Amino acid sequence: MAFLLSGAAAAQTPAAEPASGPSVLTIFFKGTNIGREQVTLARTSSGWTISSTGRQGPPFDITLNRFEAKYTPDWQPAELHVEALVRNESVTLSTSFGVTTAISEVTRNSVTNGKTDQVSARTIALPNGVYGAYEALAARLSTAEAGAELPVYLAPNAEIRVKIRSVTPVTLEGPSATIATRRYDVTFQNPSGPFDASVSIDARHRLVRVELPAASLVIARDDASSVAMRSVTARNPNDADVTIPANGFNIAATLTSPSAPGRLRHPALVLVGGSGPTDRDETVAGIPIFAELARALADAGYMVVRYDKRGVGQSGGRIESATIGDYADDAVAVVKWIASRRDVDRRHVAVAGHSEGGAVALLAAQREKKIAAVTLVAAPGSTGADLILEQQRHVLDRMGLPDDQKQQKIELQKKIQTAVVAGTGWENVPPELRKQADTPWFRSLLLFDPAATLPKVKQPILIVQGDLDTQVPPAHADRLAQLARARKNTPPAEVVHIPGVNHLLVPATTGEVAEYTQLSGKTVSPQVAEAIAAWLRKIWGVIG
């Protein structure tokens, strides 16, 4: 296993002064505790010293005997040392830094190789598998803003860049601690392709949490590693945290009650989140989409519940084995729970699925008669396999690559998708790409086809679509409407297009993902909640 140094370089920013002292990081792989790392950050007369030791079990099998990184007071790296056993192989790494050079020696079982690289000033050294090193990244991030880039050195290979996509204030709440943090959603521009991550730091500029979704890794400081700890990005006046029993585990959720009194029982809505490790607020680019929707719909008279997906936040269950069908079972459990409440009109319970949550909502409605209506918001109208290819073509077109290179990448994506579905044919697919793609969830996404599911959904359907959505373009909404209106007995189906709104349901200029870093301070368009509330009033004839 090679040690990679991830760092990032950018315009000069003021040097951070984090608090010195020890911390303990717990390492989770696919939700399982596989190791710990004891970290110390010390302020010395010559600058900063980060040191750590630790152990990680399978599948990484790393014993970190020594890590030490030294930086000047303004976070210019000076030297780096790693001594470890990686699957019983002795590995040492020593790197000395000039202002724009890095001289590295890597020794494996007494065989030493060296290399000299050009690097950016104030690059950040992050050896692969050594998470104490992220204290330097935390210090640098603490003075950076969304849209900034920092330099990253992959020793002894090359330098890459880390781009900050968004910065979000997040409060971590648990039974014994509350920690105010800032979460930095970043993209590592690795040679093999972009790698998204998030890094959370506290008010002392110290590392609290690192999430690497594509690698199924979460690294959390001990005071933020409890399964009962959850991220709170937004809070509404009438929010109440609740626990909902599911199939062998509990779902953690927030119930938002209508502010206006006068009704004994309220119509209700269950919000179903999109792809990835989505928590109940569905925060993307600093925008708590579901928290804002819940408030607007509660103001319109609805009881609204939003929840952490299984294996995310405070919900139980395992995310690594979950499929879209499993997420539909979870949505049904939430529907049954809210329909059983005395303050809810059980005849009028709807589900609203955003993005991939639209597929989950359709499957849930097919299975559960307690669901009286379905809203699909920015939901795909094609198979998952076709949507992924459509999204890739759009990204490649924006990159301006030559046609032959674009076609090569598309053919590779087709090969990967075919192998995921068939379970064979992984020859000539890079192992790291197979690791990301070969999951039960991705297979279920590729196979999902709304044309096969919609005829089995008997409930009225509303489709809400932002016309600046480039992730699920507006044509998908029209196709969903066509499929919904073709059902037997023709249950009500409507489509509402909202001009100037992107996939995150906020007003935008281009709708492109690259624009997300410019959305700070934006909020979900009120037209989304207004469309849902007006449609439910129309089909149910109840006050909402």
Average pLDDT over residues 504-517: 91
What pLDDT sits at residue 228? 65
What pLDDT sits at residue 11? 44
Longest dimension (CA), the chain: 79
Eight-state DSSP code of residue 273: -
Q: Which of 256, 227, 225 is nearest to 241 (CA)?
A: 256
pLDDT at 192 over 60: yes
Determine contact, residues 306/257, Cβ cutoff 8 Å: no
Per-residue model confidence as pLDDT tens digits over 66-94: 999 999 999 999 999 999 999 989 999 99
What pLDDT sits at residue 285? 83
Residue 373 pLDDT level (bands cut at 50, 70, 90): very high
Q: Which of 461, 466, 459 is nearest to 519 (CA)?
A: 466
What pLDDT sits at residue 175? 67
Distance CA 379, CA 501 (A): 14
Percent of the chain with pLDDT over 70: 95
Average pLDDT over residues 114-143: 94
Residue 8 pLDDT level (bands cut at 50, 70, 90): very low
What pLDDT sits at residue 40? 97
pLDDT at 12 over 70: no
pLDDT at 469 over 50: yes
pLDDT at 544 over 60: no
Give the mean pLDDT of the chain: 91
Average pLDDT over residues 58-68: 95
What pLDDT sits at residue 318? 85
Average pLDDT over residues 288-313: 94
C-alpha separations of 72 from 16, 108, 123 in Å: 12, 29, 12
Q: Which of 61, 64, 40 is nearest to 206 (CA)?
A: 40
pLDDT at 150 over 90: yes
Range from 36-45, 161-170, 221-230 that averages highest in pLDDT: 36-45
pLDDT at 393 over 70: yes
Is the pLDDT higher at 216 or at 336?
Answer: 336
Cis peptide preceding 156, ω within 30 of 0: yes
Average pLDDT over residues 440-468: 97
Residue with the two structure tokens 């049904």: 332
Distance CA 201, CA 105 (A): 31
Average pLDDT over residues 426-455: 93
Count H helices and E strands in the chain, helices first: 11, 25
Average pLDDT over residues 404-408: 92
Determine contact, residues 294/304, Cβ cutoff 8 Å: yes
DSSP line for 493-520: EEEEEETTB-TTSSB-SS--GGGGGG-T
What pLDDT sits at residue 277? 81
DSSP line for 276-331: SS--TT-EETTEEHHHHHHHHHHHTT-EEEEEPPTTSTT--S-STT--HHHHHHHH
Per-residue model confidence as pLDDT tens digits over 310-349: 988 888 888 888 999 999 999 999 999 999 999 999 999 9
Average pLDDT over residues 108-118: 91
Q: Which residues are CB-neighbours of 62 under 8 A, at least 6 positions away?
A: 1, 35, 54, 55, 56, 84, 85, 86, 129
Domains of the chain: 21-224 (no CATH), 233-382+449-540 (3.40.50.1820), 384-444 (no CATH)
How do strand 461-466 and strand 493-498 relate by DSSP bridges?
A: parallel
What pLDDT sits at residue 114? 92
CB atoms under 10 Å from CB of 265, counted, come to 15
